Amino acid sequence: MPLYIVRNDITKMKVDAIVNAANPSLLGGGGVDGAIHRAAGPELVKECMTLGGCKEGEAKITNGYDLYAKYVIHTVGPVWRGGKYGERKTLQSCYTESLQSALDAGCNSVAFPLISSGAYGYPKEKAFEAAVEAISDFLLENDIVVYLVIFERNSSLLDSGKFSEIKRFIDENYYPERCECGNYAVKKQKFKKPSILSKIKSSKFDGDIPTCGAAAFESPALKESFKESMEEAMSEKPMASSLEEALKMRDESFSEMLMRKIDETGMTDSECYKKANIDRKLFSKIRSDRFYRPSKPTALAFAIALRLSLAETKELLEKAGFALSKSNKFDIIVEYFIREGNYNIFEINEALFAFDQNQLGTLA
């Protein structure tokens, strides 16, 4: 099941369990710990008094009382001491032990704060990386919906410099369409078949840029993009071995192409939807409905799970009625990771979250 990275107040999350970044006494404190105790009411601390505290890296579960969540899972994260005293291992144990406690209690969903990143001084970027890695590893073997909740509205991972290469790639590739008249185009055109391309392919393409009304596109980047699109569309592709095969591939739906690609990789269904950060129920819908139309994040999630090339990704997207656009930062970020050969969907989603974009696989 998927991992969602969200900005929210964890005490307001409507999930089966929320995780409390507690101190060893479990009797309340500041930050997230204090907020959860205040929201849950006095009965929470009464139950916590019977637990005998909690060690670093371990987890203990209580009722949720006045919270939306049925349970609170209390875990004690490490104090940051420079990273040389096993802090990462202890922090990841907090996530793993808490997730196991949630499963043991029959929970289908759980929400985490960014453990140890407040008063305990764990650097936010490092805490985020450790959390995503621990949760994603757990989800490869188990089914539970997980939310990683970031509370601060001004908390941004971009300040760390980690995503500087992605920033540069966006700067080099992102632009809105704009005409000489000064208006931005409403639609992003890739000039695909069967409209303009079908006409262009009947004659030699001379590199001229089409006009928008009476004015030509002014952006040099857009002109270059259009030329690349024309060259790609007009390039020779391998011919189907037979008319029957050609017709079959032409009529192939998104669902059929997806299932064919899964079979070609030798991947099991569960391996595929877990690597795609897709819920099992949604995958079942796609498999059973030939004409299922997924969202763009879902279609791209499967492309990442299947490790498709950029050309194959575009083909899969086209089956779902989408195309990659240079006027869409979401598209550019995903393209960056494909070009880099990095198909770790959780790392991609971390970057998408940092740039305030939708995440892969988490939408129907």
* DSSP track, 320-346: TT----TT-HHHHHHHHHHHHT---HH
Does the domain spanning 3-155 belong to CATH 3.50.30.30?
Answer: no
Domain with CATH 3.40.220.10 in the chain: 3-155
Which of 350, 341, 324 lies closest to 173, judged by CA? 324
Which of 193, 169, 184 lies closest to 314, judged by CA? 193
Within a 10 A sphere around the Cβ of 195, how many other Cβ atoms?
10
Backbone phi, psi, residue 255, to 5°: -60, -45
Residue type, 12: K
- List the beta bridge partners of residue 3: 146
Pairing mode, strands 211-212 and 215-216: antiparallel
Does residue 213 contact residue 181 with C-beta atoms inside 8 Å?
A: yes
Residues carrying an active site annotation: 33
Q: How far apart are the first and last CA of the chain?
A: 13
Residue type, 192: K
Alpha-helical regions (H) of the chain:
31-40, 42-48, 87-104, 124-139, 164-173, 196-200, 220-234, 243-250, 254-265, 269-275, 280-288, 296-305, 310-319, 329-340, 345-354
Which of 48, 30, 21, 334 lies closest to 173, judged by CA? 334
- The DSSP result for 170-212, as a single string, is HHHH----BBTTSPBPSS-----TTTHHHHHTTS----PPPEE
pLDDT digits (tens), the chain, 364 positions: 689 888 899 999 999 999 999 999 999 888 899 999 999 999 999 999 999 999 999 999 999 999 999 999 999 999 999 999 999 999 999 999 999 999 999 999 999 999 999 899 999 889 999 999 999 899 988 989 999 998 765 555 555 567 888 888 988 888 765 544 444 444 444 434 344 444 444 444 444 444 444 344 444 555 555 455 444 444 434 444 554 554 455 579 999 999 999 999 999 999 999 999 998 899 999 999 999 999 999 999 999 999 999 999 999 999 999 999 989 999 999 999 999 999 999 889 989 988 889 999 865 4
Q: Give the count of alpha carbons within 13 A of 108, CB side only.
A: 3
